[in-house]
Structures are given as C-alpha cells and as structure tokens.
Chains A and B, each alone.
Chain A
Amino acid sequence: MSSITCTKLTLLTIVAVTIQCIGLSVFVFGFFPVKPVLSGYSGVESFRPPTCNGIENESEPSLPPDRLESLYRAVSEIPPSFDRLVFMVIDGLPAEFVLGKNGRPPSKAFVEAMPYTQSLLATGKAVGYHAIAAAPTVTMPRLKAMVSGAIGGFLDVVLNFNSQAFLEDNVLAKFFKIGWNMVMLGDDTWLKLFPGLFVRHDGVSSFFVKDTVQVDQNVSRHLGNELGRDDWKLLILHYLGLDHVGHIGGRNSALMIPKLSEMDEVVKLIHMNTVKNIENGKGRTLLVVVSDHGMTENGNHGGSSHEETDSLALFIGLKDHVYDHALSNYAQVSQVDIAPTLALLFGVPIPRNSIGVLISKIFDSLTDDKKLRALQLNSWQLFRLLQAQLPGLSCKNFPCEDFITDSGSGVSECNGSKEEMFCCLYLNAAALHDAWKTKVISRFNSTDSSSVIAAYHEFLKRASEWLSHRSTDKPIGLLVSGITAIAMSSLMLLSLVILIHKEVPPREEKHSLVYLKSWKMDEAFILLGIIIMVISMGSSSMIEEEHYVWHFLNSSIILIFIRKRLQSFESNSKHEYLNLIKGEIKRSGVEMSLLFLILFCGRILRGWHQGGVNWTNLPDVSKWLEQDGSQYIKLIQLTSCVLITCLGLFALYLMRYKTKVVLVVGFSFLMLGILIFQHVMNHQDTFASSSDDATLSIQIIYVTLGITTFAAVVALPWVKPMQSPDMCSRWISNKLTMLPVEIQNVTPIFEFKDALYMIGCLYVTFWCLLQLLLQQPINAMPVLLLFVQVLASMLTFSFSELHREQWVEGISSHSTFLSGLLMFIITYASPMLFYVSMVLYISVKDTVYSLISKDGNSGEVLKTVLGLSCLVPLSMNSVLLTAYTIVLLLMRNHLFIWSVFSPKYVYVCVGTASVYIGVFIVAVTVIYTYMVLLWRKRRKSFAFSSKQNGTLSVKLCISVLRRQSEDAQEKDHSVS
C-alpha cells in the first residue's frame, strides 16, 4: 500500500498550487501584454519636440474652444486645408469592391454599380486606399482604431467591461475640444462610444440583421437637411445596410449591387453639395469614405483573413491634381493611419496612443515645408509613444544634442538594439530636416526634400510596425513555459488525488460486488463529463451557453444516481451485512426523493434566468416576476429569507441533541434571519439604499454576521461538550458498532464531526443570508433553491457511499448562476457557497472505516478527512484551467478571442482564485477544529487513561491486529 504522510501531502499540494500560480501569472502576462498606454489627451506639447528625459509638461491650458483652435493653428504651422469633414462609414465594405484586387480593377458589375465614385477615382478627385484593419474585424474595435489610431489590447476589453464609452485619446475628442459641432447619423455604436459628443444624432441599432433597407433609409433621410445646414463641422454617417446584406447573402448577394448603387448615390449627393459649397465660398469639405472591415465570401467577418481586413479608405475632395500612380494600383495603408492623417489635416494634435503614419499622398498638395512639418509632428508623437514603451529609449544613453552635432548632415548607419535603432533613425531624420531648413533659408529656393521625407518615413514605418506588433504579438516562449507549469501542477494534483483515492479502503467492493459495475458507470460518466466540458470550451457558443451545459451534465448525473438507487432498491434485503438498519427501503425512498428535489430545484434554477445568447429572449421566471411588479419579488425575497433560516435551523435540529451550544447557534441563525427580514421589509422598495437608515441596518447585519461567524468558528471547538458515543448525532451513530471503543476514547472523532457539522451549517446558512442581502431581489429565490440543493445533496450523500461524484455535482452549481449577474462577489457567490459547504460535506462524509485502520494518528485522520475534499476541487479546477489555457492559446486568432474567450479566461482565473480561497478556508477550519478538540480530548482522557493505560494499549493492539493485521505493525500509536 503506497502511503504518503500528511506533511508530505500538504507540502506537495502547496508546491503544486504555487507552481500553478506562477504558471498562470506567466501565461497571463505573456498573453495579455500590459502595454503602457499613455493616459490623458495630447495637447499643445505635441507641437514641440519630445524632451530628452521623456517627462512632458502635462499642463494643458484650459482655453475656450475658439482660443484653443487658434492656438493649435498657430503652433502647428500647417493651415487646415478643409473646414468641414464628412466621415462616411460603410459597414463591411471590402476595398476590393471599389479599388479592385492585386492591380486588377473590380468586377464590371461593381464598377457599374458605383459610377460616380469610379469617375471620381478616375479623374483623381478621390484617392483610395486599401486600409488594412487589425483583428478582430468587428465594428466597435475598428471604429476605435480609426478615431484613436491605436490597436486596442486586452486591457481595453477588460477595463471597459461595463462602460462602453471610449476614454482613450482620439480625434473626435480633439474636435470636440476645439468646439466643433458634430452630427452622427447611423450605427448607435458611435453613441455608446462617444456619449454626449454629438449635437444631433439619430442612432440606428444593428440588432435586426435581416433588415437591409430601413437601416440605411434612417440615415439618409436626414442627409438633405444636414447638408443644407452649416452649423456642423463634422458629420458622421454610418451605413449598416451593406454589412447586413453580406450577413444575409454573402459577397455575391443579389442585394449587393443595389446597395452599392445606393451608397454611390450618397457619395454623389455629398460631393455635389461639397462642390456647390466651394463655388458659393462656404468653405471646403473633405469627404472620407471608409469601411470598418471587409467580409468573407459568405459575408462573415471578425477574423484576420485578407478578405476581412481589406477595408476601404477613400478621400474625396482633395485639391485636384494629377496622380502619377497607375489607377488600378492602389497603395496599402493601415487603418490606424486614418487618425493621424485626419488630425494633421485639421490641425489638431495627433492622439497620444496612435501608432499610425500619416498617408503622405493626402499631403501632396502642401508645400514641402508643410509636408515636412506634418511628418515631423507625426514623428514626435510616435517617438513619445516609443519612449513610453521602451524605457531604455531615454536619451540618457544617447545624449541627443551631442548626437545631432556629431552626425551632422550625414546619414549614419542604424543598427543595434531596438532603442539604438529607433533613436538613430529619429535623429537622422531630424538632422536631415534641420539641414534642409538651413539650406532653404540660405538659398531662398526650394531644394529637394525627398531624402528628408524618406528618412522620416523610414523612422515612422519602423516605429509603427514595431508598435503594432508589440500590441498583437505574444512571446511564445513565455506562453509555453506558463502552460507547462500549469499542466505540471495539474498533473501533480491529479496524481495526488489518485494516490489518496487508492488509499481509501475500497469499501464498495467489500460491500457490494453487485454495485461494482454501476459504480464504475458513475465514474465513467464523470470522466466523460470532464472530457466533454474540456472539448466544449473550444467552442465560443458553448462558452456563451455554458450554464446550460453545466445544468445538462448536472441533471444527467443526478439521473444516473437515481438509476443507481433503483438498482439497489429492493436487493438490499438479500445481503445480510447491510441489515444494520431496518428501514433500508425507507432510506432508499428518502434518498430518491432528495435526488428528485435536487433535480427539481435545478430545473427551476435553470428556468430562472435565460442567459447566454441563443435563448436570452425566451421568457423566464425572472422576467415574469419583473413584469408582475415588485410586490411579488419582495414576497419571494421574504419567503426565501424565512425558509433559509428555517432550513438552517432544521439542519441543526437534525443533529438530534440539544445542548446550549446548538441553541446558541440556532439563536444566531434566527437573529440574523430576523435582521435581514426586517431590512428587506423596510428598505427594499426605496432603491435609495444610501439613506442613513438602510446603510445603518446593513452595517449592523454585516457586523453581526462577521462577529457571529468568527466567534462561532473560534469558540465552537472549545465549548463543545465532550459527549459519550451514545449522545452522538444520528449521522454517525450507525457506524458506532464498527469502531472499537478504545479509539473513540483517544480520538475526538465524533466531537470533531459534530463540530464540523455545526460550523458547516453556520457557514452555509450565513453565506446564503448574506447573498440574500447582496443579490438583486429577483435572485432571492435561486439562493433559496441552491441552499435546498446543497442541504439535500448533503443528506443524500451522508447516506450513500459516494466520494467523488459529489464534487462534480457541487461544482456544476458553479455556473447555474453565471447568467445575468454582474459583479465579482455576486458571480462567485455560488462557487463560494459550494466551497463553504465542503465543511458540511466533510462532517457528513463517512470516514469511520478508514479510521479503523488508521488507528487515530492525528496526521492520518486529517489526511483522510481533508485530503480528498481539498484535492479534488483543486485538481478539477487545475484540469479545467490547463485545458482552457491551451484552448485559449490555440484560439488566439479566433474570431471571438476578445469577445468570448478572453473574458471567459478571466472568469476561469477568478474561479481559480476562489477555489484557492475556499480550500484555504475549509482547511484552516478543519485543522483548527481538530487540533482544539484533540487537545481537549487528550487532556481529559489523561486522567482516565493513566490508570487503564496498560489494558487499553493491549486491547487496542488486539482490535487493530484483528482488523488490519498487516498494517498493525507499523502503526504509530498515539496513545503510547
């Protein structure tokens, strides 16, 4: 028999957990690079060269908008070429449709569908680009990229979980600052991103994908009116129709051509208006037609294939000039380049975190010095960003001034480390620029600026590339080592579980060869369930509907338990050794009804919230209740409160003996129940929980709860009366006959179990009551149902011989709640409840048999009691964590990586943390209780045993020898 001591086990477990923590953090830091995002908004300082020490003067003059605009205009040295901007977003339009692909013009049908746009392109009045979008190619991140020039990292997703408003520096905020009036028509994503920025808006929702006509009419109906007005400076149009067409019928949908014609009409309308305005002297308008992403052949988007990332950027209304490049060969830019281009065109500072490079063709009409100035401004901005990302890029290593004088006008070779390279490239460009300036001043005629432009472009391109890779690339070595560590720890934990599981004497075999087959079926189902869970994590929709999966598995295993009960329903009477209890059939009946109760509660829990994505709109109980009004909810809440208190008392009463301690604990239940009842009665209607009265009552409840729990847990082992076995609670009295009296006298096993039972009841009941207070009122009933489930499963499993099955059952209550709840403590309430209920489980777990062989060594007892209970959740969680980490790594290019997989990973991580906390609490409680009781028992039995010492040891030896002769020799007798 492979044996493992308690200390060794503990040490191994702690080591495994530590490895897991380290691996997890390594993975998280590798997968979600924490890129230093510059906070705040860029201001006037972006028109000054970056300082050497990298510390900027953050003070932004709080000027009124018009003053600020003139200030910007003065310092930027580039006069804005346009007065107004029309920013037209055509959702999901691939650039291919307008510009063609690989040098070939678009297909004839598409050309004919957009005659006006194509004529603009042909005559050079419009410049088109393939603006390559970054993944994920879905609307909101792409809009953010276009206005801020930054590629959002994971933090973007996590930190903006609740507030959708876009808080990073962006072009729209700049425009708002200089007092532009902005109008938005179209997709209401803009309104969510920029609340309060628009003077007029008409948002349409993209929820109803089947509609391809109305969404665009809702935008275009305002167009005539808006174009006639001149009070706006920025008009944003966001047409969703084309994306919807794609979603319905793909690229070659019959609706595509009419939709393109419709878009062409809009472009024509706006451009005509622009031309008219110029003729009337009403100022120049720039029309920028962009698409946020492309689409695949089937009309889907989200991934990073070329079809999806190939989006359009079309600048219409630039000063007419002849283009030298061939018409069919449109350059490729990056989508993030739009932001700095727009910022420079309109003379506002480039957003801080922009990694874009200005599109130089757009600035071709400017004079050389203006063009160079634009490049310079962009370089300064990127250099600042580099300084933030590369702390080594401070000019301490490279004294800038010296360097400039050294290099002179010559171009030095740029190689070496990243820092050196960027510094060198930047300084080269700056030096060339300076040299060019002095030449111009001295000669008073234009000299060739192409080398300066090339130098700037070199720096900008390299810097932009590096920055964009930095925000998307993942260090693979770090990830792999993290995963290895996680996998290793989970293997360790699993092997520990198997080791311990082997040590638990296989009572099932001893008892019932009949059950053996079916017992294995449960185990097989649990393995199957774990495998299915792991596989289903690879599918985004399975993650979205995870709670249904959990419920399905949970109910299935309960059904299997019922089947198992049916197997032994009558056959027990044939086996004499089970005749200890007369009411065997009655007991089976009770078990069955408890299992049905669990099933029933689970089904109601499932029907309470329709979470997830697919079936969210179906009716559920909470929706009915909310429609019916708050009085029902309140009623349910009050009932739940009363019932939880009563059930807690009932659970205590099941102990079958009445001492003062039990009465005190019961009284504390009652008191808290009443307190919460009263709070709900008085304060739930008034949603202003800030009123002093309500706050006070909540504070009172918290304090009472905390003090009672702490005091009870600390004091219970001390005040618990030492009772003789016949006083013991009913749960273990059955097994008394099995245990030699001598061991009962030396180990405090019965007191231990009773104390744990009480503490467990206390934990569970208090936790439920606390949840009642914290959760939304509508969730009161689920709390009650969960409580009933926990109690019922406890009672069931106290009857039966199951060990592991219960864990799956318990863990699956995990996610019944994930639906519809918001905050950490609330989301993780039910898992915590489960871990807390572990105490209760330990108390009812049947460990007496193993105790016979272990003969009261305290380490062994603790190992038996705690080992499986703590290791099973740890190892299950570690398996899930490992599996999910691998899934996440495999799915890193998946469409929903940011919207589904990464948030789920956060949940998994937090779940891991809650497992740690739960296990820690359980372990501490159990060990503390045991130690105290053991100490008391020893002290008490000392006097008693001193006279009987000799006989006792002999008796003990005999009994042990009789039962476990092969083990008896190596026993460490705690008595002697």
Chain B
Amino acid sequence: MLIADWSKLPKELLQIISEKLNCEFHELRFRSVCSSWRSSSIPPKNHLLNLPSKFPYPSKNNNNTSTYPIFKRTIFLINPPPNQQQQQTLNPWLIKIGLDSRGRTSLWNPLSRDKQLRLRFQLPHYFDFNQLSLFKLGHEFVIGDFPSVYPNESYSTENSHFMKKVVAYDDTLNSGNDRSCSVLLTIHISGKLAIFRSGDQQWMIMPEMPPNPYTDVCVFNGRPIAVDSAGRTVVVGSDLSLDLVAEAVFGGDTKYLVESDGELLLVDKYSNRVGQFRQFRQFERSDYEQSDLFSFGAVDERDYVIGIERAVRFDVFRLDENDKKWVKLTNLGDRVLFLGKDCAFSVKASNLPMANGNCLIFRDDDYGRDLHSTGLGIDVFCLDKQQILPLSSLPRCSNLFWPPPQWTGLD
C-alpha cells in the first residue's frame, strides 16, 4: 500500500505548487517546511509571468517612453500567536504590505495608495511572520511610486493619479505552451479598457467605446471582468472580445466589483459633488495626448478641473449569471465589504471580529481632503441604517486598522 511521502514529491511538481501559492509570504512558509520543498520553489518576482518590470502609462500617444515600476501589495488579516490568545480577546490587525520604490518592506493604507503614516518605532524592527496566523484577504498591483499622500502637494511627477486599478490574469491563449503569461488589464482615462500582454511595448487601448466609461475591473474565477458606470458588465475574452455578463442597472455614479463568498457582487456608489479645484501645469510631458485629456474634461492641456466627490450611499447587487442581471441585495448578512482604490475584498464579520456585518468600508478619494487630517480617511456605510459613519465612531472596527494592536509590540 503506497503511503504518501510528501517530502519526496518530484521537484517540478513542488515548483508548480509553489507558483500557485501566488503570495510571497506563503511561499516563504512553503520553503521552510523541509529541504526538498525549499530547493524546489523559485517564485517569480511579483508573480507576473513574462511581463517587464516597468510599464508606461496607457496612452494613445505611442511615443511614450517613460516607464514606471509595478508593485504588488498584499492585504492580510493578522492574528496573534496562539499562546498569547489566552489573555483578553486580542484584536486582529488588517494591514497592506509590499515593497516601496527603494525595495523596503512597508505598510500601506489598506484602502489607498499611500504609505501608512506614523510608524514611530526604531529601525530596524523585526516582525516574524512565521509565528503569526496570516490570512490573505486580497492583493493589488500599483504602477508608479506614491510617496506622498496628497495630490495637490508637490509630489514626484513620476506618478499618475489617473492610473486606475490594474488587475493581472493568466493568458489562456498561451496556456498550451510551456511558458504561461500574465496579462494586465486597466482602464484608460478615456473610460476604455487597456491591456498589456507579454511582448507588448505599450498598452493596447481597446477601441470599442462603451456607452458609459468603465469604472472598475477585477479577476473573477481567473477571468477578467469590467463594469461601466451604468453597471453593464463584460468579460474580456482571450481574443479580446467583450462578452456580456450582466446588463446595466443605471442607479448611481460609480460601480465596483467585489468577490464575496465565491460570488461576484456589484457595488453602486452614489456621490455628491462637494467642490472642485484646478490643477495647473500637470501635463507638460507628453504622457498624455490632448484627446486623452479632453475626454476627461480638461480645459486645455495644462489646466483642468478636478471635481471633489463624496459618497452618500451604496447599493449592493449579486450576479444572476443565467439571466445576466444584477439582483439587488438588501442585506449582506455576516459580510463586510472593503472597497480600496486598487483592491476590493470581503470578510466575515465574525473573523474581524465585529458584532455585525452588513456594512461596507471605503475611502473617498484624496482630492480635497484636509491636508492635516491625521485619520485614515476611512468611512463605513451601514446597509441597514443606510447611513455613512466615520471609522472612528466604530472603535472595534477602527482598531483593525490603526494603531497596531498591543500584542504586536509595535505601538
């Protein structure tokens, strides 16, 4: 009778398993199991297969030569080591972690692109992840370095705050060959979709002009999905055709996609415009062609207006795949949805722990934000009360993010 001897698994299989782990932290644990597992895993950097390490921004201007590095950041829920749990119920900690442009491991605001502020402890400080219970909630890709929080401060002109969410998926057309390839999908500022494949030098902006601009993209069950501002949802095929997944719902201003409990949800955000400001001389460089900017509502190529919007309420829908319709959900049950700028995810309230689920945690854009605010800028929308509350009014929830729980020794 064959007894499974895992340590003798052939190297090539161990390598495939390690590739599928898809996360640096899990791979480190994989490698520390035993020596044969260790020598088998060679994780690709950023897990983007056969893509360059730097990318231009999507633009109709094909003479664009500036490129920016891509960073993968992972969102974890960390729980203290078991032996410490005998004391009072200890808070988990929700963090986003990834390398910065100087290769240092850093913490980031889980819902936006900026660095977590005010880590005051002395350098260097070691945090042993192998001792903790790490639960991966999601990951994101960000192109460009964002050292500063506020776009209307002077910041590195290396970034574009107009760079929208980027998602990565496997190129199924090439799946027969030895080398699998990743593909990136994002939204160009004109509202059209843009794709970057292995071997490309520039993003390919998909020519189809949808009736409404696309506002979010995600990868669901390995397939790239996009939604426009009316809620019309499509899947991008391997031949770059767009097939309908669900019809529009109209409703609010911006739509987002979140995966929750194995199903795809649509979040519909209603916003009010609370102000605006002008940004000057933003685009002296040739990154963007004039027509790119006009579609964004620019006045001329150096001076444009940014509207400041704040969310007033949200509706959530679940997908009826057969009827190709979004069906409104009045109650999320035990679930808490998190809407970040580059990543959205769902967690059970009991895991956080929070008394009740049925809420949505989000962050309005940075524009117009109080420059001296010390908060994280995160708010909570409760579906039952149809009300937005600041994170600070829910201490149990607020303690998830900041300050670091006592058991970490980082406060």
A is bound by B: no
Binding site for A on B (CB under 8 A): none
